[in-house]
Amino acid sequence: MDQLQEFVDALSDEECWERLAGQKLGRLVTHVKDVLDIFPVNFVVDDGTIVFRTAPGSKLFELTVNDEVLFEADDHDDDDAWSVVVRGHARVLDTTEEVRAADALPLHPWIPTLKYHYVRIEPVMVSGRAFARKPEPDRYGIAEY
């Protein structure tokens, strides 16, 4: 385990939010009864929450049936990688004031579809890990005892 800790660091809440704020694409996980679904969504970080847009369909239906969601975003380069998971509750923004504020965010659909529904994920917990990318150790060499 000590060898693993050499390459993996837990991120603070602040570091998690900084990394999320630098990304535009994440994954939303919904859960209704025995069905788990995962959806790619483009998003923005807004005041310690995650906001995305969606159209009517299974994603919107599922998060209104069960508002408990997971959200994940990650990134990597040749030397490092990271992943952040947000556990929280998703809520469709429905007041004129909320929608007007969301309209002002830099959030636009990536594909040419009309997405009138804004959803905000209010976090309950945020966790993240950063990884140093290194070559895999020799799996077939002589084991140390």
27-41, 45-59, 93-107, 124-138: least confident range = 124-138
- Residue (of 92, 110, 112) closest to 51 by Cα position: 92
pTM greater than the 0.85 cutoff: yes
Instruction: Tell me the backbone φ, ψ of residue 4, rounded to 5 degrees.
Output: -65, -40
pLDDT digits (tens, 9 = 90+) for 56-68: 999 999 999 999 9
Query: What would the mean pLDDT of 3-20 be, rounded to a whole number?
Result: 87
pLDDT for the residue 4:
53
Cβ–Cβ < 8 Å for 142, 23: no
Render 13-34 in DSSP notation, one character per residue: HHHHHHHHHT-SEEEEEEEETT
Please write the tens of the pLDDT for every residue from 76-114.
998 899 999 999 999 999 999 999 999 999 998 888 888
